[in-house]
Amino acid sequence: MPVTYKKIMNSSDQLIKILSALEFASDKHKYQRRKGFTKIPYINHPIKVARILSEKVTNPSTELIIAAILHDVIEDTDTQPAEIKNLFGESVLNLVLEVSDDMSLTYNKRKALQIKKAPHLSSNAKLIKIADKLTNINDLLHYPINWSRIRKLRYIIWSDEVVKGCTGVNDALEHEFHLLVQKSRHLLQKKNKD
């Protein structure tokens, strides 16, 4: 039996809204796994992005946390924008759309557009982008994946370019990202010497 969701955007209970977003995203991503040998459930990724924002942003809005949880549902699942708007409101939808790639474009065009669009994103979209890249690089380092050292370095360099366009929104989050980039480059370059 398919899951049905009721409209909760008028609820004053922020926790209910966030848990509803988690349930929705879990259902949408239920058959997806992260890249790598361990095949971690995909939902772990948006949960980590939302947790990072909850820790690093002072008084994050409910809309920010919900958009972080939903940030990949449009580009990676069959979710339609109207579903998000109807369930979580237009501001959440707009944030999710801001951070979603146009999957009709080639991989290289999508990646180039992320760099180009980053400086023009809203502050909340920039926060999601930084937390997303931080989570992806952490996973790249800590979970076995069949990527060459060069491919990993390219991903880190590209992520750094995206985040450069997102600076000025949260010092703590940006600092953590830059430390991770330095550590990642050091570890991957060290592996080349070993």
Given the residues 23, 27, 72, 76, select the one marked as catalytic. Answer: 76
Given the residues 13, 55, 75, 102, select the one marked as catalytic. Answer: 75
Strand partners for 29: none
- Which phi-psi region, left, alpha or beta, contains residue 45 (left: φ > 0; alpha: ψ -120 to 50)? alpha
Cβ atoms of residues 110 and 102 within 8 Å:
yes
For the chain, helix, strand, coil in percent to 5 are 70, 0, 30
Please confirm, yes or no, whether 75 is among the known catalytic residues. yes
Q: Return the closest-CA partner of residue 87 out of 2, 15, 18.
A: 18
Q: CA 43 to CA 57: how far, in whole Å?
A: 21
Q: Which residues contact 141 (CB under 8 A, 6 or more apart)?
A: 183, 184, 187
- Which phi-psi region, left, alpha or beta, contains residue 59 (left: φ > 0; alpha: ψ -120 to 50)? left
Please confirm, yes or no, whether 76 is among the known catalytic residues. yes
> In 29-145, where does DSSP find H-type helix?
44-56, 62-70, 73-76, 81-88, 90-99, 107-117, 123-142
**Catalytic annotation, residues:** 75-76
